[in-house]
Amino acid sequence: MRRIVKYLIIVIIGFTVGFLIVHIINRYGEKKEAETRIQSLPCVSFNSISGIPVNLHEFDQTKPLIIIYFHPECEHCRYEAREIGQNAPAFHHFQLVMVAPDDSLQRVEKFCSETHLWELENLEILLDTENQFKKVFGNAVIPSVYIYATNRKLIKIFFGETKPQAIINATKNSLTSN
Amino acid sequence: MSNLFNNKFKLLLVLIALYFLLHFALIYLFDTVDIYIQTFQNQLSINRIEKLFKLSNKHQWLSYSFLPIIVFSRIIYSSLFLYIGVFFTELKIKFAQLFKIALIADFVYVLAGLAKLVVLIFFKQVNTLEDLQFQPLSIMELLNEKTVDPLFVYPLSLLNVFELAYFLVLAWLLVGIINEANKEHPVKYGKSLQLVTASYGSGLLLWVLVVMFITLNLN
């Protein structure tokens, strides 16, 4: 009996360690791959509010692209969106794309109305209905901001709530570097 | 038996009290709105930082209430893996005895906390919250944090002088218990260290892997 218990302990610990190592190696590999991939704007499509697939490369290539990943129920996203809405003129020269993992159209529309995002002409709201964002970008921190220059090279990532001035400063650097 | 329990309970209370003191000192000296502003000013507006600071202060009691649970769980975890190791050697040692040596050895971590506090007060310029997150005398301290992948920060921080001291103290305390249980065939310190390395070492490896797993899957 004692011998069986010993073998059982070895098997359980060995299996757990093995499982964790394999998972860590795989996940780490995926993460590194995504880190390299997103250095240039990835070729990925999300659905527009009207349900039409929109590729991130379809936007005006003469403007830097700001991708904001958000959730309509997140308080930090709400604050960030409201701040962007209030500072709309400062974002006039950029293309803003807000991607929500939530497939509830009503909630997203309510969020945009409450934060006055509809008033921004250069803003596109997209829905990540098939959970592509995490697969492609490697992370799905809510909220997060990805800034791409006009040549569609990544210049800056912000994880967590970000003030408009920080986003503008990062894009200013991109304009001067171009 | 009751005396043994009382001793252990008193020891545990002293240990937790020391952790409380260290935690209080860290918060009292370094948990200021200025440090929050310096940490987050590039990303958040001042009023949001102040709100964050107030929120953090409001929930500070949570960190105090979790402290005894964390300490107690760590001691139980070490004792459990030592018990598994002892189980493989056929020695007759009770879990309570292993709990006691894990409890005594845990004072090494108090020393680590004290060393960190001394470094922070006298030798380190603390500007941001990141400056508080370090493990003195660790491999991580020899490396540039910016060049290390976040996944490896915890394992490299764990490779430190105090962790090594914990292993040595645990083995030193265990040798006494083994020889008491096995008077005819006393073992040497090296044998006890082997047992600690195999048992507690496995537990530590498992823990590090769990932390790395969580770090990778958190986002």
Residues forming a β-bridge with A153:
A40
Whether residue A79 sits in one domain with residue A163: yes
Bond before A143 cis per omega within 30 degrees: yes
SS (H, E, C) chain A: CHHHHHHHHHHHHHHHHHHHHHHHHHHHHHHHHHHHHCCECCCCEEEECCCCEEEHHHCCCCCCEEEEECCCCCHHHHHHHHHHHHCHHHHCCCEEEEEECCCCHHHHHHHHHHCCHHHCCCEEEEECCCCHHHHHHCCCCCCEEEEECCCCEEEEEEECCCCHHHHHHHHHHHHHHC
Cβ <8 Å between A24 and B212:
yes
Q: What is the pLDDT of residues B48-74, one digit of tens each?
A: 999 999 999 999 999 999 999 999 999
Total number of domains constituting chain A:
2
User: A79 and A5, same structural domain?
Assistant: no
Nearest CA in chain A to B217: A27
pLDDT > 90? residue B8: no
Give the CA distances from residue A50 to residues B5, B43, B81, B130, B216, in Å, rounded to whole numbers and listed in that order.
69, 33, 57, 44, 35
* Cross-strand pairs, A54: A46
Residues A142 and A81 in one domain: yes
* The pLDDT value given to residue A140: 85
A153 and A114 assigned to the same domain? yes
Same domain for A65 and A147? yes
A83 and A159 inside one domain: yes
Distance from the A148 Cα atom to the nearest Cα atom in chain B, whole angstroms:
18
Query: Range of A15's domain?
Result: 1-37
The answer on A47 and A9 residing in a single domain is no
pLDDT in tens, A57-71: 999 999 999 999 999
Q: Residues of B near A (CB-CB distance < 8 A)?
A: 42-45, 48, 84, 87-88, 151, 202, 205-206, 209-210, 212-213, 216-217, 219
Distance between start and end Cα atoms, chain A: 72
Residues A63 and A112 occupy one common structural domain: yes
Report chain B's C-alpha Rg in angstroms: 20
Q: A83 and A17 in one domain? A: no
Assess whether A57 and A125 both reside in one domain.
Answer: yes
Q: How far is CA A145 from CA A69, A97, B27, B153, in A?
A: 6, 10, 31, 24
- How far is C-alpha B160 from the chain's CA centre? 11
Higher local confidence (pLDDT), A52 or A1: A52
> Looking at the structure, do residues A98 and A119 belong to the same domain, yes or no?
yes
- Closest Cβ opposite residue B206 in set A13, A83, A139: A13
The interface predicted TM-score (ipTM) is 0.87
Q: How confident is the model at residue A175 (pLDDT cuts 50, 70, 90)?
A: low
**Using CA atoms, how far apart are residues B21 and B65, in angstroms rounded to an integer?**
13
Give the pLDDT confidence score for residue B2 in this predicted structure.
53
Half-sphere exposure of B153 toward its Cβ, with a 13 Å CA cutoff?
Answer: 14
- How confident is the model over B109-137, as pLDDT tens digits? 999 999 999 999 999 999 999 999 889 99
Q: Domain check: are A23 and A95 in the same one?
A: no
Q: What digits encode the pLDDT tens for the residues A2-43?
A: 889 999 999 999 999 999 999 999 999 999 999 999 999 999
Cβ-Cβ contacts under 8 Å for A163 (sequence gap 6 or more): A80, A83, B43, B44, B45, B48
The rounded mean pLDDT for chain B is 92
